[in-house]
Structure 1
Amino acid sequence: MSELRSILRNHMKDKLAANQVVASMTVRLARSIEIAQIAKTAGFDTLYVDLEHNTLSIDTTCQICIAAQQIGVTPLVRVPANTPEYICRVLDGGAMGVITPHVRSAEEARAMVDLIKFPPLGHRSAGGPLSHYQYRSFPINETNAAMNDATSLVVMLETVAALENVEAIIATEGVDLLLVGSNDLCGEMGITGQYDHPRLKDAFARAITAARSVGKHVGIGGLASRDDLMTQFVTMGARYVSTGTDLAFLAAACAQKARLVREMTIG
């Protein structure tokens, strides 16, 4: 492995390539870089900053991403819109991958490849030395190839249209992972909140089959409250698990301690 590729190692991609399960934490509450070390200490392989569902700035997002890079936690960003002003800035700012919402077709997936991958695979613009490779200078042909390998394009499957086109979407060159957004997908299918519905299981089965046929993987999203279903879908072949948000983890731990005190017997 070259020096550049060694610096740029994406530990999430390494685990997926080895057919191991990736544990992910979502950042919605934290506004400082300590959350990266907390994720590392807790044992997470990756975190993603959810810009689609909170008010974090791009600057704060990128600081968290850089902190995660340095300690071997793969930083991803879920963008609020699949546009250059979000995607290109978070990638240059420190993200090692982007989660793109509401992709419904192979054509839309290909447009994401164009934004996220460097030539010849895509059309991402060169931004000079980046934090990903320690702000050092390497030949551009070497950095482009290494960054393409290290950068993850995670496409969300959260619409009926995406499910109908899943085989073509996941087969698109440059798409690395398909993340099933269970909440939105159930809503689109008219079974809002019915996570035990067989149509959701069928959707995962179809997505996993499609991904496996091209040597790629499926992730589980939106099921943080259902350990049983996350386990079931991993058994079926999913290999990335979005386990929940920093806000939910904090609220649950706080509630547990408060309940402990309330239930104490006063002697």
Structure 2
Amino acid sequence: MSDMATELIGNSVKDKLAANEVVLSMTVRLVRTAEIALIAKTAGFDSLYVDLEHSTFSIETTSQICLAALGQGIAPFVRVPSVSPDYITRVLDGGALGVIAPHIQSAKEAAAVVDAAKYPPLGTRSFTGGLPHIGFRSVPTERLFSAMNAATMVTVMIETAEALENVDAIAGVEGVDMLFVGTNDLCASLGIAGQLQHDRIKDAFARCQAACDKHGKRLGIGGLSGSPEFLKELVQRGARYISTGTDLSFLASAATEKAKRMRAL
């Protein structure tokens, strides 16, 4: 990020990615209270994202989690249920440091997300005073726009065959910071549902990584927490943002293991 953004907002996932560090993320779709941000911090995560596409969370609940994450130094993102500007603006104003945009099929659609997420001159995001990212301080508008544009991440999901065909053009959109491969949805779109290590998926990751390398973007991965060796291979090739799983899956997995051990007694 810029020095101005760091001064106003602090360090972020953007800084870690710029330093070529691996960023670990927790997906939130079950726990509706601020404690989940503290748990993410204690567990050692760099980021969390609230999944509004696959949960019944309200924007109010989402904002409270984002505020708690900001206070813990955990970068909060929101996977919006649609890419309409009203969703994007509201979650960003509520405390998110970026959006994860699903169902992006083309460079034009990716550019529309950037336009909604960024202040002028990079986009058309509407201005409101009193942002939580800067502690609701009063900051000159031009300085605020510059800092927030530098700090706010725009991530677009590659999860369909059509998006994969257009991946180079999507990665080339100015203002897009990261491509995030939704492995399960991409498998389904390619007609190989559930085959997470199919040759076509491996080729898809190679194409996405090549597009990121070409345009100076980062690659994120979702849906491969159960395939550690494949995940390791992708990280070695350049993937840097890793979605490790959901709070729901973490709870179910730990509870199942504990019950199994107790039953064995």
**Corresponding residue pairs, total:** 264
The answer to whether the 8 Å contact 2:114/2:123 transfers is: yes
Q: Any stretches of 5+ residues in structure 2 without a counterpart?
A: none
Once the two structures are superposed, what CA deviation does each residue of 1:120-167 show, in whole Å capped at 9, x if it has no partner? Answer: 011001011200000001111111011001000010000111111111
Where in structure 1 do 4 or more consecutive aligned residues deviate above 4 Å? 1-4
| 1:226-266 Cα shifts (integer Å, max 9, x gaps) | 222211211121111000000100111111111111111xx
Q: Which residue number corresponds to residue 121 of structure 2?
A: 120
For 1:35, the equivalent position in structure 2 comes to 36
Residue identity in the other structure for 1:164: E
Q: Structure 1 unaligned runs (5+)?
A: none
1:15–1:21 CA contact under 8 A, matched in 2 = yes
Structure 1 residue aligned with 2:227: 226
Give RMSD over aligned pairs: 1.1
Q: Residue 16 and residue 54 in structure 1: after superposition, are their counterparts in 2 closer, same or farther (change >3 A)? A: same
Q: Distance in 1 between matches of 2:205 and 2:4?
A: 38
CA drift at 1:8 = 1.4
Q: Which residue does the alignment assign to 2:191? A: 190
Cα distance change, pair 4–218 in 1 and its aligned pair in 2 (3 A): closer
How far the C-alpha of 1:171 sits from its partner, in A, is 1.1
The corresponding residue for 1:155 is 156
Secondary structure, in 3 states, of the residue corresponding to 1:220? Answer: strand
Instruction: Give, in angstroms, the shift of residue 2 of structure 1.
Output: 5.2
Instruction: Report the equivalent of 2:19.
Output: 18
Residue 201 to residue 143, structure 1, CA distance change in 2 (3 Å): same
Q: Report the residue type matching 1:162 in the other structure.
A: A
1:44 is aligned to: 45
Partner of 2:239: 238
Cα displacement (A) at 1:9: 2.9
- Aligned equivalent of 2:103: 102
AA of the residue aligned to 1:192: A
Q: Check conservation: 1:9, 1:150, Cα contact below 8 A.
A: no
User: How far, CA to CA, are the matches of 1:182 and 1:37 in structure 2?
Assistant: 28
Q: Measure, in 1, the Cα distance between the counterparts of 2:209 and 2:5.
A: 32
TM-score, normalised relative to structure 1: 0.96
Q: Are the aligned partners of 1:182 and 1:223 in contact in 2 as well (CA < 8 Å)?
A: yes
SS of 2:138's partner is: coil
CA contact (8 A) 2:5 2:146 kept: no
Q: State the partner residue of 1:211.
A: 212
Normalising to structure 2: TM-score of the pair?
Answer: 0.97
For the residues of structure 1 that align with 2:137 and 2:179, how far apart are their CA atoms? 32
Structure 1 residues 124 and 192 mapped into 2: Cα distance closer, same or farther (>3 Å)?
A: same
Partner of 2:191, secondary structure, is coil
C-alpha offsets along residues 1-32 of structure 1, whole Å, 9 cap, x if unaligned? 75653231352111100111100000010010
Q: Hey, what does 1:7 align to over in structure 2?
A: 8
Identity %: 57
